[in-house]
């Protein structure tokens, strides 16, 4: 007992320190001035490849930026017509965005033969960059959010969007004051650890981190559930276990 008491005190101290460290990190990452994010009222454009990307991968970012009072826009580069479900998926996307707080007037869906929903087709990054730039300029966007070079799932359409924003940045075409955040891809193990990945997300390098509260996580689940045509058994498992339904780590380009 004499030995156990100091060990219990030490364990309690470590636990308290850990909780305070996590809370401190959370506080720093939710302050726009600390995270380097534009301030409240800024116009942010989320750039996705398919309907359901916004809920499946970016829900923590969308809800986190809404928490910071950003005005959110969505640019989806295809109607998701790979299985001839484009019309259904467009309606599902609007329903999902409504749950996530993005009004229909701020949702833009591109239907162009240059950008087919097809993992075997590599979109032309120059063409995608031109389309993206038009929407950035037309809407006075200050922050663009999209996939990183890994595309989270490795989908070629996701990767092409990262190539498009990199093209704009490399050529100096983005408007002054417009920055780009990309969603970190992680390995398969971390991808399905859900909240258990939070310590890794806090310890590893990133510029912005969004973690959903319990209420927000339920909101993200409702948004994903709007994509009824896509809710096959493996996507239901994804909803339960994927970190991307609860945690987003992002980096500036």
In 3-state terms, what secondary structure has residue 27?
helix
Q: At the top level of CATH, which class does the domain 39-252 belong to?
A: alpha beta
Domain range summary for the chain, segments of one domain joined by +: 39-252
Q: Which of 65-69, 89-93, 205-209 has the lowest mean pLDDT?
A: 205-209
On average, the pLDDT of the chain sits at 89
Residue 19: which H helix or E strand, with range? Answer: helix 4-29
Kindly list the distances between the CA atom of residue 161 and the CA atoms of 90, 106, 146, 152, 182, in Å, as whole numbers in the listed order: 19, 19, 7, 12, 10
pLDDT at 34 over 50: no
Q: What is the CA radius of gyration of the chain?
A: 19
User: How many angstroms separate the first and last alpha carbons of the chain?
Assistant: 55
Instruction: Give pTM, 2 decimals.
Output: 0.87
Under the banding of pLDDT at 50, 70 and 90, the label for residue 13 is very low
Rounded mean pLDDT, 167-196: 95
7: left (phi over 0), alpha (psi -120 to 50) or beta: alpha
Give the pLDDT score at 25.
53
């Amino acid at each position: 007992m004499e030995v156990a008491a100091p060990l219990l005190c030490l364990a309690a101290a470590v636990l308290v320190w850990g909780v305070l460290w996590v809370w401190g990190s959370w506080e720093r990452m939710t302050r726009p001035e600390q995270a380097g994010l534009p301030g409240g009222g800024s116009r942010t454009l989320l750039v996705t490849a398919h309907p359901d990307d916004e809920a499946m991968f970016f829900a923590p970012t969308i809800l986190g930026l809404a928490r910071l009072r950003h005005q959110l826009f969505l640019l989806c580069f295809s109607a998701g017509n790979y299985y001839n479900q484009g019309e259904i998926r467009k309606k599902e996307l609007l329903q999902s965005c409504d749950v996530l707080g993005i009004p229909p007037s701020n949702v833009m869906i591109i239907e162009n033969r240059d950008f087919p929903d097809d993992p075997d087709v590599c979109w032309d990054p120059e063409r995608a960059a031109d389309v993206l730039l038009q929407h950035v300029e037309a809407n006075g966007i200050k922050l663009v959010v999209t996939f990183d070079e890994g595309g989270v799932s490795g989908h070629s359409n996701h990767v092409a969007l990262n190539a498009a924003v990199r093209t704009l940045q490399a050529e100096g075409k983005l408007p002054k004051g417009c920055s780009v955040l990309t969603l970190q891809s992680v390995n398969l193990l971390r991808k399905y650890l859900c909240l258990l990945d939070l310590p890794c997300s806090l310890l590893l390098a990133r510029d912005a981190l969004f973690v959903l509260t319990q209420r927000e996580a339920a909101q993200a689940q409702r948004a994903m559930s709007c994509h009824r045509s896509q809710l096959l058994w493996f996507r239901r498992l994804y909803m339960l276990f994927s970190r991307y339904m609860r945690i987003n780590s992002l980096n500036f380009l």
